[in-house]
C-alpha cells in the first residue's frame, strides 16, 4: 500500500466518505483559536489537503498529516505541503514515536486508517496522550472491511501469506468493542455512529483497481504470483458478497467515533 499515485487514482470512495463525515461533524466540534490538528493515516495527502485542510483552514493554526509509509509521506510533502500543512512519518501504535507529540494537538482526525492498526488499544492511548485537555478525536473505522470479507474466501495457498499481515487479525467486531477501546484509553464518547454504506464505482474494473490499491496481501506476494492472485481476487471479492460485478458497487460498513479528552 505504498504506491501513492495508484492509490490517488482509485480513492473515490475514501474522498466521498471524508467529505460526508467532515460535513456532518465539524460544526459539532468545539473550535477555539490557534487550533493544531493531526490527521492520522494521511496516505499520499490528497484527502488531508483537499478535504480536511480546506474545510478547516479558517479555523486552525496548523495541521500535521502522518502515516507510517515513508513513500506516502514523501509524495505528500512534494505535492501538498504548505506553510500551514506539514507531513511526517509516524506509526500511531509505536509509543516511542508518538511521545514527541505529547499534549500537542487540539483535534485528531483519522479516516480509513484505524482498521489497519494492529495494536488498537496502544494507538488510542497514544492519541489520548497527544491531545491537549479538551481535545477531540473524530475517527472513521471500516466496520465491515471488504478485504477482510474477501480473505475469508480465498484458497489455502494464499492464506499462508496472510500470517505476515497483522492488520487482518484484530478486527473490531461490534460497536460495544469500539466503545470499550475508546473508554479504556481515557476518552469520553460524545457520539458513536454505525452506518451501512455502498459506493458505486464507474464499473467493476474500477472497483477492483480500488480494492487492489489497498490490498496488503498483493503488496507482499512474490512478483511471479501476483498475476494469478489477481485473477483469484476478482472471483473471490464477488463471492464474499461485498462487490457487485454488474453495477460496480461496493458494500461496506462505517463506524464513526467522536470523543473528547476531558
SS3 for 19? Answer: helix
The domains of the chain, with CATH numbers, are: 4-145+168-198+251-260 (3.40.50.150)
* Confidence at residue 87, expressed as pLDDT on a 0 to 100 scale: 98
Report the range of poorest mean pLDDT among 125-134, 164-173, 244-253: 164-173
Region 204-232 average pLDDT: 92
Percent of the chain with pLDDT over 70: 96
Pairing of strands 105-110, 35-40: parallel
What's the rounded Cα separation, in Å, for the pair 259 and 110? Answer: 12
pLDDT tens-digit map of 125-160: 999 999 999 999 999 998 888 988 898 999 989 988
Residue 161's pLDDT band (boundaries 50, 70, 90)? confident
SS3 for 96? Answer: helix
| DSSP sequence for 89-132 | E--TT-HHHHGGGTT-EEEEEESS-GGG-SSHHHHHHHHHHHEE
pLDDT tens-digit map of 184-206: 999 999 999 999 999 999 999 99
What's the rounded Cα separation, in Å, for the pair 228 and 247? Answer: 24
What's the rounded Cα separation, in Å, for the pair 148 and 146? Answer: 5
SS3 for 202? Answer: coil
**In the predicted structure, residue 91 carries a pLDDT above the cut 60:** yes
* Confidence at residue 105, expressed as pLDDT on a 0 to 100 scale: 98
Cell of 101: 507529540
* Confidence at residue 164, expressed as pLDDT on a 0 to 100 scale: 67
What's the rounded Cα separation, in Å, for the pair 258 and 38? Answer: 15
Region 154-179 average pLDDT: 78
* Confidence at residue 170, expressed as pLDDT on a 0 to 100 scale: 59
Region 243-260 average pLDDT: 95
Amino acid at each position: 500500500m505504498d504506491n501513492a499515485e495508484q492509490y490517488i487514482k482509485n480513492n473515490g470512495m475514501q474522498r466521498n466518505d471524508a467529505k460526508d463525515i467532515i460535513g456532518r461533524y465539524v460544526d459539532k466540534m468545539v473550535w477555539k483559536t490557534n487550533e493544531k490538528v493531526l490527521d492520522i493515516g494521511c496516505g499520499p495527502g490528497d484527502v488531508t489537503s483537499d478535504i480536511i485542510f480546506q474545510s478547516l483552514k479558517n479555523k486552525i493554526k496548523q495541521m500535521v498529516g502522518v502515516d507510517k509509509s515513508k513513500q506516502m509521506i514523501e509524495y505528500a510533502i512534494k505535492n501538498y505541503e504548505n506553510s500551514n500543512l506539514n507531513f511526517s512519518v509516524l506509526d500511531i501504535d509505536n509509543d516511542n514515536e508518538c511521545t514527541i507529540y505529547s499534549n500537542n494537538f487540539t483535534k485528531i482526525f483519522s479516516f480509513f486508517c484505524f482498521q489497519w492498526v494492529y495494536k488498537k488499544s496502544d494507538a488510542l492511548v497514544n492519541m489520548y496522550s497527544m491531545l491537549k485537555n479538551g481535545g477531540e478525536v473524530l475517527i472513521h473505522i471500516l466496520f465491515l472491511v471488504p478485504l477482510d470479507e474477501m480473505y475469508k474466501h480465498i484458497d489455502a495457498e494464499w492464506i499462508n501469506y496472510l500470517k505476515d499481515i497483522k492488520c487482518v487479525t484484530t478486527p473490531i467486531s461490534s460497536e460495544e468493542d469500539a466503545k470499550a477501546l475508546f473508554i479504556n484509553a481515557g476518552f469520553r464518547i460524545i457520539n458513536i455512529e454505525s452506518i451501512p454504506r455502498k459506493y458505486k464505482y464507474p464499473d467493476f474494473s474500477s472497483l477492483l483497481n480500488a480494492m487492489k490499491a489497498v490490498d496488503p496481501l498483493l503488496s507482499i506476494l512474490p512478483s511471479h504470483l501476483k498475476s494469478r492472485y489477481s485473477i483469484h481476487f476478482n472471483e473471490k471479492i464477488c463471492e464474499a458478497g461485498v462487490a457487485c460485478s454488474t453495477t460496480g458497487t461496493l458494500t461496506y460498513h462505517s463506524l464513526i467515533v467522536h470523543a473528547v479528552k476531558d
